[in-house]
Structure 1
C-alpha cells in the first residue's frame, strides 16, 4: 500500500503501526535467540592459580552436554534457521520484490501515472542478491556445524 498509494497510506490509520511491528520482531527474535542459551550453557566456578600459590575464583561459561546431541542441534538451530534465514525469507523477499516492482511500475495518484526511476529495479535486484548471498552462506555454515558436526563442537 505504501508503494502503490503513498499519500493514502499516510493519511489512513494502518491496522498495525510500524512501531508495533518492530517491537514484535525484536521480542520474537530475542526469545528465539536467548531461550536456547539457557539450555545449552551453565555458569561454573573456575579456579585461577596465581604465581604466589594463591588462587582466584572466577566464573566460567561451559557448554552442557545437550549441545552435542545432533537431534537437539537440528531441532533448535537448523529448523528455525530454515524458517527464518534461508530459504523461506529468500523466497518471500523475491516474491515481495516482484510484487513491489509490478506495483511501482503502475503507480497512480488520482489520474496521474507515476513512472519509477530506472535504477529502482537495479537497486532492488542488488539488495536481493545481498540477502541471498548472506543467508545462503550462513545456512551453509549452519549445516556444516549442526548437521555434519564440523566446527563448533569438541571432537
Structure 2
C-alpha cells in the first residue's frame, strides 16, 4: 500500500506492507533509529512517538493506519540547534543511564505534558492538583527504565511542567 505521512516535519510517500509497524517503517525505511524496539509488544514504551500530537507505542501502530498523520520522533523534538526543554532537563537532571529508554521517555513526556489531568492517582477527580510527582509517575507508567532512573526522570519532567 502507498501511504503519505509527515515525519519530523518532512513529507514521505512510501509503499509499505499492510502488516508493517510504524516502528519498523521509521527504523528500517526512514532511518530514524531513535525509537527503540524494546519488547515489540507495547509493554515497555521504548518505541513511543507522537502521532498527531498524542503519544503512542509505534510497535503497535500499523504504518498504514498512520496514512496522513504527522509523526514526531525524538529526532524531531529539537528546534533547529535548540534542545527541547525536556531534553535539556533530562541532561541537567541526569535522567538516563544506559539511554535505551530515553527517546521513548522523552516523547512520552512531551505528549503527557499536553494531556488534560488529573489521572487515577488523584483522590478527587474534580480537582486538578497539577503535575505532582505522583501524577507524573502515574502518567509515565507505560515507559519502563531498566536502569531505574525514575527519580531523575520525574525531577526533569517536573522542572519543565507548567
TM-score range, shorter chain: under 0.3
Structure with higher Rg: it is 1
TM-score, structure 1 length as denominator?
A: 0.19
